[in-house]
Amino acid sequence: MRSIKVLIVDDEPRICRGLKRLVASCGEEWEVLAALGDGREALDFLQTRDAEIDLLITDIRMPEMDGLALVREAGKVRSFLAVVLTGYNDFEYVRTALKEGAADYLLKPLDREQLMAVLAEIKQKVEERRLQNYHWSALRQKEAMLKFTQQTQALARITADESDLARLGFWVDSFPKGEYILLYVSMDTLPVKARSFTAQDWQAYFYALENMTGEIVGAAAEKHRMSGWWWRGTGADFWALLCRPGPDAASDGGEWEEAALETAGRIREAVRTYTPFTVSVSSAEPMGDLYLLPYAKRQALSAMQHRLLEGGNRVFPYGRIHHSGGETGGEQPGGLLPSLLQRMKRAVGQADAAEAEAVCRQLFEHIGGYSSPARIRKVSENVLLLIQSTLFETCGETVGDSGAEEALREARAAVNLQELKVLALRMIRRAVTTLRQARSGSVVKPVEAAKDWIGRNLGSPITVKKIAEQVHMNPTYFCQYFKLQTGETVLEYVTRARLEQARRLLADPAAKLRDVSRAVGYQDVRYFSRLFRQHFGQLPSEYRGTAGTG
């Protein structure tokens, strides 16, 4: 049996020592943690130590903090049974102590037989409490496991191709608030010996792969104080979702993204080491609202298409690929190529053919200045993948995933940069036509109503659920609908609207940066400044300087 831990408090050292001996003499199961001289010292002991306590034996009358106050204050930080020591004249105090939660009392001078009788009752109560706590702990564990299973089932439905997004309901409500990153684990080309595998062999391997993914995600979640879920997709593919909990997760500079990529790398390495297969792992961009999960799925699938260029057994982070154009030969993130790529992606997503084609011509003029033919071809192929993935991310599975392979086959057959440019322009026109056709049968009124509500609430907390409620649509379906109609996710639109409003507010020289930040919904000024620089290429203070001289 676990020992019963006792804390003794009395301002008379003789009584403290006597109590300590008497308790110790009652049997090996009794352990005196400390014998202290006043209530204040005892409270400090309980507040600064992680030690568990089962029984507090305290005198009622003490100079620094009396026993009644000690029982009351200590009960706020620890769960324990209390026995108070009192004289014949202190029965009013005893009544109060019992009301405060004391289990029993002992009269001074202490009687050994009486103490042993009280401790025998306390021992029984401690055992009953422990048994009850064990049952409650087991119930909480079962409840947590059931909740995890239900959450994982919901995630599996969302990432399944046949999901009806309009019927999913408010499934996000059972998940913690925070920032999420989705990982997609896809098996590479199978080894030749896999042809001889039986159905049982495959079942065993899939079981091993899922367990391996779960162990690595679970270990990463514990190490980095995250939450993690994992589930099997279709065929030999797996998914994992990591969450950095907390309302301010997005404002930490995205440092935890490295933890997600580290997890992806560990999954890839473990599969390569312990199975005859290799896998590639792609990651979507961080999302602050889990209703964007269907879009994150498309990002992860889009990033995985770069396996066609790079080969397997790799990690493909969506953000790094699509914000840099893949292999850019060391070009800086703020350089011309990433800027042109982002402009073209937005133009294609918004079905703006004229802008997309103009940017495409600028892109190929820029690429033509490279000295390395291999680099020219590599970046050109990334441009083609960007066009195809933008269409896929906006329209979803309806456009299929064979377009990327077909585009790369044509690109590899091209003999010069002009042919690559013509191919890209043709893909843009095809993508814009597909997007316009997809949008032509829909009424855009909900999108316009949502934009109007967003514009009137930029300074307030905005979530997908709140916006969807304004247009009476399911949040998950609304995310897909908004993306199809506008070419950007609803939260991308919210961020852009906030930053555009911030730029207008910064034109006033008297406006303080903190006030502007809060006026557009950002309580963290550093996070606001970082977003502003990402969007406009300069800090708010730098923009204000140029605006004042313009």
Q: Which of 101-110, 280-289, 369-378 has the lowest mean pLDDT?
A: 101-110
* pLDDT computed for residue 426 by the predictor: 93
Contact 216, 163 (CB under 8 A): no
What's the pLDDT band for 330 if we cut at 50, 70, 90? very low
Q: What is the CA radius of gyration of the chain?
A: 32
* pLDDT computed for residue 421 by the predictor: 93
Asked if pLDDT for residue 206 goes beyond 50, the answer is: yes
> Stretch 390-413: mean pLDDT, rounded?
77
Per-residue pLDDT of 288-320, as tens digits, reads 889 999 899 999 999 998 998 889 999 999 988
What's the pLDDT band for 37 if we cut at 50, 70, 90? confident
Looking at the DSSP bridge assignments, the partners of residue 181 are: 242
3-state helix, strand, coil in the chain (%, to 5): 60, 10, 25
Closest alpha carbon to 188 in 365, 5, 314? 314
> For tokens 């297969």, what's the residue?
277
Single-letter amino acid code for the residue at 300: A
> Stretch 244-257: mean pLDDT, rounded?
68
Q: Which of 32-46, 137-151, 249-263, 361-375 has the lowest mean pLDDT?
A: 249-263
Axis crossing angle, helix 13-24 with helix 112-159, rounded to the nearest 10? 70
Contact 491, 292 (CB under 8 A): yes
Per-residue pLDDT of 361-393, as tens digits, reads 999 999 888 888 888 888 898 899 899 888 888
Closest alpha carbon to 481 in 538, 426, 443, 512? 443
Per-residue pLDDT of 507-523, as tens digits, reads 888 889 999 999 999 98
Asked if pLDDT for residue 359 goes beyond 90, the answer is: yes
Contact 26, 121 (CB under 8 A): no
**Matching CATH number, 4-133, of 3.40.640.10, 3.40.50.2300, 3.20.20.60, 3.40.50.720:** 3.40.50.2300
Closest alpha carbon to 298 in 197, 404, 446, 410? 404
Per-residue pLDDT of 122-161, as tens digits, reads 888 888 888 888 888 888 888 888 999 999 998 998 888 6
* pLDDT computed for residue 29 by the predictor: 87
**Hey, is 360 helix, strand or coil?**
helix
Tokens standing for residue 30: 């009794």
* pLDDT computed for residue 102 by the predictor: 74
Distance CA 302, CA 293 (A): 14
Calculate the average pLDDT of the chain: 85
* pLDDT computed for residue 414 by the predictor: 86
> Domain segments of the chain: what residues?
4-133, 160-322, 445-549
Asked if pLDDT for residue 88 goes beyond 60, the answer is: no
What's the pLDDT band for 505 if we cut at 50, 70, 90? very high
CATH architecture under which domain 160-322 falls? 2-Layer Sandwich (3.30)
Per-residue pLDDT of 456-494, as tens digits, reads 999 998 999 999 999 988 898 888 889 888 888 898 899
**Matching CATH number, 445-549, of 3.40.50.300, 1.10.3720.10, 1.10.10.60, 3.30.450.40:** 1.10.10.60
What secondary structure does DSSP assign to 193-248, as a single string? GGGG--HHHHHHHHHHHHHHHHHHHHHHHHHTT-EEEEEE-STT-EEEEEEEESTT
